[in-house]
Every structure is written in C-alpha cells, then in structure tokens.
Amino acid sequence: MQDRCRRQLTPDAGPRGKEFDCDKKAGPLTGQTGDNPRQAIDAGRFAFTALALGATAMGASPLFLRLAEIGPFAGAFWRVALALPVLYFWARLDDRQHQGFGLMLPRDRLVVAAGIFFAGDLVFWHLAILNTTVANATFLAALAPVAVVIGAWALLGEAIGQRTIVSMALSLAGAAMLLGSSYSFRPENLPGDISGLVTACFFGAYFLVVRPARLRLPAGVVIFQSSLVTAAILLVIAIVSAEPMLPASLKGAAFLLTLGLVSHAGGQGLLAFALGHLPAGFSSLVIFLEGVAAALLGWLFLGEGLGILQFAGCALIVASLFWTRPRKTPIPMP
C-alpha cells in the first residue's frame, strides 16, 4: 500500500489502461479490484450506473418538495431526517462487515465536513430560490462540476483528461439550452445569484471530501454519519426560520417521506457509493442529470412547458455523459 500504483478508474484514460487499481489485493472498503482488470471495468460501469440513478433521484427533489406542502428549510430538514432510519440500517450492515466504526458519533473529520457542506448546499440553494429566478438558481448551482474538476485536480491529484473537459463543456452548453431564455441578470436578483454560486461551491466541496472519505470508510457509514451532521444543522435553521415544521396534509407528508427515501437515502446514498469507485471530477459531471430529471419530471407531472431547445439540451447532456462513461476497452485483457 505504501508504494501506490493506484490509479482511479476514469473514463478518459489512455489505451494503456492506466485507470485501474494495480494493488495486488482488493481494498476492503473501496471496491478495489486487485489485479483483475475485467473486475475493475465492471466495478466502474456499475458505479457509473449507480451514479446516474442517484443523480436522477436527486433531480426529483424539487418535484417532491413542491408537493410536500411545507416550507423550504423545514423540507430540507425532513429530507435528511426521514432518511436516517434507512441509512442507519445500511450503515449497520457495512459496520458489521468492516469491524465497527462507531455509528452514532461521527469521528472522521472528512465525514463531519461532508455533513456541513451538504447542509450549506441545501440552505443556499433555498436562499437562491427565494431571492432570484428558478432559472438563475438552477444554472448557477449547475456550475458545481466546474469547482469539483478544478478541486479534484488541485487538491486530490486526479488527472483530468480531455474527454472529461469536453464532456463538461458540452454539459454546460446543454444546461444553458435547458434554461433557454429564462436566465436573466437583474441587480435586485444579485443576492440570490450569489447564493446560487455559493450553492455550487458547497456541493463541489461535498464531492471533494466524500471522495477521500470513501477511500477508508464504507458508503453506508459515510452517508449516515454525514447525514446526522446535516440534519442537526438544518433543524436549527428550520427552527430559526419560524416555518411550520409539519406538512399541511397526509398527502404532503407522503411526498415528504418520498423526498427523504428517494432523493436523500437513494440519491445521496448512490452518490456516496459511486464516489468509492470513480474519481470526483468525473462523478460530478453526472450531476448534470439532476437538471434533466427535474425538467422532465416537471413536464410530466406539473405541466411545465419544454420546447425543442430544452429537449435538445437534455439530449446533449445525456449524450455527453454517455460518451465519457467508463469504457469497456481501455484496459487490455490478459
């Protein structure tokens, strides 16, 4: 382990197959596949699928929150709190397999930081929604992958290939097309626009601490313990905001539960799993699927209009991510 020749499974490594972990033995927590390159490829493709499903689940959160009949800060708290029982069960399973990390008291600094950063992401996202247009908030928050790619290169030492850079540029173009002419700059929206940029920074920071945390802790432990920190912060903020803490109807409560189980336990959980197998820079690109999922679900269930330009933007994002996915051929078979 000391003389690491570990190189992460990335979608844009060269034909020499320099993406896989060349340690002799599989790591117990990270899903490393030892000296079997086919297993390395399969793990990367499975993690990519989990990442795409997680991004889609997170993209459904605006729909669930709107139907939950509750304020944004109280909704953010319940989103995390209602997921905790499921995440605890997952963490218990991982804890039994990996010899006890002490579930109820987060001790790892990266895990605590992940909880703080995700709380900041949710808080500033809702501040952006309240103080600027939804289009502005959505596009500015979508800049998170830019921060992650730069941070992964500068802080984590990840190699950023041309394929990742091109895919990010295409996805940003797709996000701009998805917004169409809705984006606008007005001086009165500046506080909300700044909140949107801060949202992107917090979510980018979340990626950059979850990735190294996953190299030494299993996904269930990381997401459960970080969610404990997030829920504690959001509870204080929800109380201070003086919003009603409970939804107005059983229907709203059902959608609030769905928000917690699908968007947080499912979405964030799959993201944490994938970050144990894929580099942070590449993984962040898949988060563009959040915007695609949110737009399509709004069109299907809320009657929100989508024109040809918006559908083309969705298609461009999906195509760019499919193009940059982990490949079947980069690692030569023995």
Which range among 74-88, 250-264, 285-299 shows the weakest confidence by mean pLDDT? 285-299
Residue 32, pLDDT above cutoff 50: no
In the predicted model, what is the mean pLDDT of residues 308-331? 80
Average pLDDT estimate for 231-256: 94
| Per-residue pLDDT, 104 | 57
Please determine, for residue 29, whether its predicted confidence score (pLDDT) is greater than 60.
no
Question: Which bin fits 32, alpha (ψ -120 to 50), beta or left (φ > 0)?
Answer: beta
Give the amino acid at 219: A
Its sign, for the CA torsion 17, 31, 42, 54, is negative
pLDDT band, residue 334 (cuts 50/70/90): very low
Residue pLDDT, tens place only, 63-83:
888 888 899 899 999 999 999
Say what the pLDDT of residue 94 is. 82
- Share the mean pLDDT of the chain: 81
Is a pLDDT exceeding 70 seen at residue 128?
Answer: yes
- pLDDT exceeds 60 at position 34: no
**pLDDT over 60 (residue 100):** no
Report whether pLDDT(278) > 80. Answer: yes
**75-84, 124-133, 142-151, 248-257, range with the lowest pLDDT:** 124-133
